[in-house]
Homo-oligomer: A and B are copies of this chain.
Amino acid sequence: MDSENLNKTKRVVSESLEGKLGESYQVLDKGFVRVVDYMGNDQAIVQAARVSYGKGTKTVNQDRGLIHYLMRHGHTTPFEMCEIKFHVKMPIFVARQWIRHRTANVNEYSARYSIVEEEFYIPEIDKICYQSTTNSQGRGDELEQQLAQEFRDFLTKSDKSTYDEYTRFIEKGLAREIARIAMPLNTYTEMYWKVDLHNLFHFLKLRSHQRAQYEIRKYAEIMEEIVSSWVPMAYEAFLEYEKHAKTLSRSAIEYVRDNLKEELSSERERYGIGAREFTEVTEMLTGAEKE
Which residues of chain A have a CB within 8 Å of any CB of chain B? 1, 3, 5-13, 18, 21-22, 36-40, 44, 47-49, 51-57, 59, 72-74, 77-78, 80-81, 83, 85, 87, 91-93, 96, 99-100, 102-103, 105-110, 112-115, 121, 123, 127-132, 136-140, 143, 147, 151, 154-155, 158, 161-162, 165, 169, 172-186, 190-192, 194, 196, 206, 210-211, 213, 239-241, 244-256, 258-261, 264-265, 268, 271-273, 277-278, 281, 284-285, 290-291
Query: Does more than half of chain A's interface fall in helix, strand or loop, or is it mixed?
Result: mixed
Q: Which residues of B are found within 8 Å of A6, using beta-carbon distances? A: 8-10
Q: Which residues of B are found within 8 Å of A44, using beta-carbon distances? A: 37
Complex Cα distance, B190 from A162, in Å, reads 25
- Minimum C-beta distance from A196 to chain B (A): 6
Each complex incorporates copies of this chain amounting to 4
Q: Which residues of B are found within 8 Å of A114, using beta-carbon distances? A: 53-57
Complex Cα distance, B102 from A285, in Å, reads 34
Which of B48, B54, B81, B196 contacts A110 (CB under 8 A)? B54
A248 touches B245 (CB 8 A): yes
Instruction: Closest B residue to A253 by CB, please name it.
Output: B246
Complex Cα distance, B248 from A273, in Å, reads 11
Which of B12, B106, B240, B264 contacts A100 (CB under 8 A)? B106
Complex Cα distance, B137 from A59, in Å, reads 13
